Amino acid sequence: MKILTVVGARPQFMKAAAVSNVIRQKHEEILVHTGQHYDENMSKIFFEELRIPKPDYNLGVGSGNHGKQTGTMLIKLEEIYEKERPDLVLVYGDTNSTLAGALCASKLLIPVAHVEAGLRSFNMNMPEEQNRILTDHISKYLFVPTVTAEKNLKKEGIEKGVYNVGDVMYDSVIRIGKLAKENSEVLEKLDLNDNEYILTTVHRAENTNDPKRLKNIVEALNESGKKIVLPLHPRTHKYIQDYGLAFSGNIKVVEPVGPIDMIALEMHSCKIVTDSGGVQKEAFFMHKPCITMRDETEWVETVENGWNKLTGTDKNEIINGINSFNPTNEQEEIFGDGTAAKKILDILDRY
């Protein structure tokens, strides 16, 4: 079978790292990078460190408003789909690259496989929620990571083609965890000790595009007085400057780090504070208490299991979480057993 995979943003590289090499054991894969993320530390470093196959095409779409970015992807993808005539298009997650990849295939009547299907925040203001719902409804194969995702699809009338394979990011993190233990020197480089710092990431549009929310986050991190390491997403960097905000001395702001150093930073942190989808799960995989600076999460099981606390962007809530959220209870197996990619391959083989 000829499978055309579309990736474009950092979390998709993490997922492709688990899946691409596995599907290539039996099928031909054409890998298309939309170019949504393009800085070296947002793109190239993932392909190099995780040995993701080199993309066959890079559309070079870059940044832009939603319509322009998604529309440019559609135009460029259509040419490639017409030329390559794949049997299946595979997309990951919920970015504009996901939607463009799926929509373009659907219009050309090429079956779509959606990895990480069925997630819902029930907040339609999020571009990601729009992307996921639209993608799920035009997909033929829906690989869900959790039981909740399966239930969400059922409520929307999608039952056919749904497979709970577990989370491909769990596969990736198991693999990258080993690389991090063997190869990462990030603690030495940043002069950090094990278990003595909090790792933070912030990039979600609902937090960066709203000056009040971003100000609350910055003030909470500053006023916590704790040692915080913050690999800063370029989107957030831009808005921090635009709003005239500043971090205080307890916060070590660094450029985005590569995946191996990121997993190492997570492994050695004492707590994680984030608004990222992927980082919430990684915190859970590594048994790190997670404070999520959002009003809702798609990964509800991590909250129900007691390892993730939703604080929204209320300053006191974030500071309280940083100071006193310390779960110790046993975790349930929510995200499968780390063999999601192999399960996806087996299901695709049956067709």
Binding residues for ligand UDP (CB under 6 A): 10-11, 14, 201, 203, 231, 256-257, 259, 262, 276-279, 282
State yes or no: residue 53 binds ligand UD1 (CB under 6 A): no
State yes or no: residue 251 binds ligand UD1 (CB under 6 A): no
Nearer to ligand UD1, 127 or 306 (CB): 127
Nearer to ligand UD1, 74 or 347 (CB): 74
Nearer to ligand UDP, 80 or 283 (CB): 283
State yes or no: residue 44 binds ligand UD1 (CB under 6 A): no
Active-site choice (203, 233, 268, 287): 203
203 included as an active-site residue: yes
Sorted by sequence, the CB contacts under 8 Å of residue 202 that are 6+ apart come out as 208, 214, 217, 230, 232, 233, 236, 274, 275, 293
Q: Which does 110 bind (CB under 5 to 8 A by kind): ligand UD1, ligand UDP, none?
A: none
Q: Which does 235 bind (CB under 5 to 8 A by kind): ligand UDP, ligand UD1, none?
A: ligand UD1
State yes or no: residue 271 binds ligand UD1 (CB under 6 A): no
State yes or no: residue 201 binds ligand UD1 (CB under 6 A): no
State yes or no: residue 258 binds ligand UD1 (CB under 6 A): no
Q: Which does 279 bind (CB under 5 to 8 A by kind): ligand UD1, ligand UDP, none?
A: ligand UDP
Residue 198 region, left (φ>0) first, then alpha (ψ -120 to 50), else beta? beta
Nearer to ligand UDP, 218 or 262 (CB): 262
Please state the closest distance from residue 36 (CB atom) to ligand UDP, in A.
11
Sorted by sequence, the CB contacts under 8 Å of residue 3 that are 6+ apart come out as 23, 27, 28, 29, 30, 86, 87, 88, 89, 90, 113, 348
Q: Which does 256 bind (CB under 5 to 8 A by kind): ligand UDP, ligand UD1, none?
A: ligand UDP
Q: For ligand UD1, which residue of 5, 6, 11, 121 counts as binding (CB under 6 A)?
A: 11
Q: Which does 116 bind (CB under 5 to 8 A by kind): ligand UD1, ligand UDP, none?
A: none
Size of the site for ligand UD1 (CB under 6 A): 18
Nearer to ligand UDP, 152 or 276 (CB): 276
Nearer to ligand UD1, 187 or 199 (CB): 199
Q: Which does 282 bind (CB under 5 to 8 A by kind): ligand UDP, ligand UD1, none?
A: ligand UDP
Stretch that binds ligand UD1, among 32-40, 114-122, 157-165, 286-294 (CB under 6 A): 32-40
HEC sequence for the chain = CEEEEEECCHHHHHHHHHHHHHHCCCCEEEEEECCCCCCHHHCHHHHHHHCCCCCCEECCCCCCCHHHHHHHHHHHHHHHHHHHCCCEEEEECCCHHHHHHHHHHHHCCCCEEEECCCCCCCCCCCHHHHHHHHHHHCCCEEEECCHHHHHHHHHCCCCCCEEECCCHHHHHHHHHHHHHHHHCCHHHHCCCCCCCCEEEECCCHHHHCCHHHHHHHHHHHHHHCCCEEEECCHHHHHHHHHCCCCCCCCEEEECCCCHHHHHHHHHHCCEEEECCHHHHHHHHHCCCCEEECCCCCCCHHHHHCCCEEECCCCHHHHHHHHHHCCCCCCCCCCCCCCCHHHHHHHHHHHC
Active site residues: 203
Site residues (CB under 6 A) for ligand UD1? Answer: 9-11, 36-39, 42, 63, 94-96, 127-128, 203, 234-235, 238
